[in-house]
Amino acid sequence: MAAGIQENIIRTEYSEIMQKSYIDYAMSVIIARALPDVRDGLKPVQRRTLYDMYELGIRYDRPYRKCARIVGDTMGKYHPHGDSSIYEALVVMAQDFKKGLPLVDGHGNFGSIEGDGAAAMRYTEARLQKITQEVYLKDMDKNVVDFVPNFDETEKEPAVLPVRIPNILVNGADGIAVGMATSIPPHNLGEVVDGVIAYMKNNQITTKELMKYIKGPDFPTGGIIVNKDDLLSIYESGTGKIKIRGKVETEKGKNGRTLLVISEIPYPMIGANIGKFLNDVAALVETKKTTDILDISNQSSKEGIRIVLELKKGADVENLTNMLYKKTRLEDTFGVNMLVVADQRPETLGLRQIIEHHVDFQFEVATRKYTSLLNKERENREIQEGLIRACDVIDLIIEILRGSKSREQVKNCLVNGVTEGIKFKTKTSMRQAAKLRFTERQATAILDMRLYKLIGLEVETLMAEHEETLKKITSYEDILNNYDSMAAVIMEDLKKIKKEYSHPRKTAVENAAEIIYEEKKVEETQVVFLMDRFGYARTIDTSAYERNKETADAENKYAFICMNTDKICVFTDAGRMHTVKVLDLPYGKFRDKGTPIDNVSNYDSKTEQIVLVAPLAQIKEEQLCFVTGKGMVKQVDGNEFEVSKRTIGATKLGEKDRVVMVQPAAAMEHLVLQTRDGYFLKFLKEEIPVQKKNALGVRGIRMGEQDLVEHAYMLENRIEYVITYREKQITLNKLKLAKRDTKGTKVRI
């Protein structure tokens, strides 16, 4: 170590370093990325993008500019993150189906309500909306907000925008931080303005009284909020769940059929969930949950949502509508969590608290604005008074100008009355000049004044301007010194904003009755289950099966009669049982292909093989015999498999073991196990214990370490079983009867 340099090693716990680092990271994500500021309702990326557009001069009354230019400039100056995050924020601010009040005017493909993404930023263009410029970015030149250094301290950016409406309520917000998330619904601009004005008139107003003005959220997609009574607790606590339903209307279609038209959707349905809704409705038709729908068509366009369901004649419209609310996302939930950054820390606020923060911010902005304006008018007054006084002694000033050698000499005379070095025509002029006491600012204005200002009309204009300046000073001082005056100015401003930019409410708010949907009882009937060797399953009518029985049995691995209300049990070599409702299987003609069993169950053909498919009605009436590759055997009562879950463990398996056989054991008298090395063991059914499904079983046959059970055969009384083993005919009934857990007999070839 170099002499003079003192070693300074700080020893600390690694866990403490990790904790501190993670907290720093979490706070950075919370404050600087994910959560909006309660004052302007914007996340940093939104604020920086809007400010950059303002700085680039991309105003509402000027041409559009490429989004790539906006994104690149924002990223280079203010937001050192990925360009995709900036462009996504820009796109969302332009989408009128996501924002109650779009802040960006997009030109080009900015995505659709159905989840289509926006075109690449090199194709799209944008500019500020008029409201953004007039309400969000106005007065930036009047020192109304603090400016802070950007990430590399080469630029200045606003810490917050001087937004004059509660944007956090009007546009809502959503974001996921570390360990917390925000979800604030959008509201109607006119209602929010009325609520703010009501609070300013009475800051003791309650949340319930505020809700006389702010009825509830107003989603850009419309819809109907059906739990009005829950809104009060949601607005008081800042958390809760809002139930929203789509708007359903009926129209007359062709041939006297009724059309069910969905013209408004729940806000959470926007995007890919519209496609999911259409698929869910199609699934209801395919699974015979309803037979009233003949056709589904999505006729939505830029004009709005229009999803049309064509119904058959005599359809129960009310019950079908209730089924759509119950079985699809036509009724959905919006989770409210009004988490924002307030005073540099995350906080969950209620409606009244948000408005309180907004009003405090407006008074702060107005104070800074009118202080700036007052200072400017005081400067104007000082200059105007100097010019008016100069007009009265203009001849003396001209004499000073003509007798001086430099601008500084003249200025020194006007400000301090210093006459040395100036040639005057008379001593009287010198004495008068020595009495001049203009201010620095007045002297500069006099020296910069042009001669035409001495015209009589110009002097009168100057006097009028002075009078106007005095009035403004009086007005600004009154606003700054009087709470009521400042409140009146803010309220007047809000009324103008409401008049120009508000729109009628789109979302209805009401208390609706709980949906009552009576599911039609399925008429119980016999069907035939068919599944081929490729795993395609279907059901057909029993008469169709009888007509084609020979072909059906030859072409299908499994074919049996079951009830349409039953379940099918699929046992696999992985020791699992998957269940499928018979009603979930396609029902059709004999030559229909069917659907893969993977599609209607949790069965995975890549990791497991089917060893038994049987109806639950048969399974639960019997005992099942299980045989595994490592020779474990047991019987299980079929009632254990009558469960509600779609997948359960059918048996417990040892390490690297697989199920070889599962079969109903009612008719079994003997069990024969055949191993890979050619050993056969025949023993009585009575030696196989009945155990629980989660039991491992008992050893059926003793084998070498590398040997495995390949096949198991169940022998019934008085039925001869002949198999071919390595081209040799073996009658299983003639095998020597032995005891379970013995080695068995090796078949010689």
**Which residues are the active-site residues?**
123
Decide: helix, strand or coil at residue 671: strand
- Report the DSSP beta bridge partners of residue 245: 224, 331
- Side-by-side strand order, sheet with 247-252: 247-252, 258-264, 307-311, 293-298
Q: Where are the alpha helices (DSSP H) in 449-529?
A: 456-481, 483-501
C-alpha separations of 155 from 77, 78, 148, 214 in Å: 7, 8, 8, 40
- Report the DSSP beta bridge partners of residue 636: 624
Tracing tokens 């015979």 back to the chain, one arrives at 288
Residue 115: left (phi > 0), alpha (psi -120 to 50), or beta?
A: left
**Nearest Cα residue to 566 out of 494, 503, 620, 609:** 620
Taking the CB of residue 455, how many other CB atoms lie within 10 A of it?
10
SS (H, E, C) 442-456: HHHHHHHCCHHHHCH
Tokens at 67, concatenated: 């989004």
Give the orientation angle of helix 394-403 with respect to helix 407-416, to 10 degrees.
Answer: 140
C-alpha separations of 109 from 94, 251, 268, 288 in Å: 11, 32, 22, 39
Are 91 and 77 in contact by the 8 Å Cβ rule? The answer is no
| Helix H or strand E encompassing 384 | helix 351-392
| Helix H or strand E encompassing 296 | strand 293-298
Q: How far is CA 333 from the centre of its chain?
A: 12
Are 102 and 93 in contact by the 8 Å Cβ rule? The answer is yes
Q: What is the CA radius of gyration of the chain?
A: 42
Tokens at 89, concatenated: 């924020």
| Euclidean distance between CA atoms 219 and 506, whole angstroms | 7
Tokens at 323, concatenated: 């089924």
Are 173 and 93 in contact by the 8 Å Cβ rule? The answer is no
| Helix H or strand E encompassing 625 | strand 623-628
Tokens at 483, concatenated: 């709470």
Decide: helix, strand or coil at residue 532: strand
| Euclidean distance between CA atoms 184 and 182, whole angstroms | 6
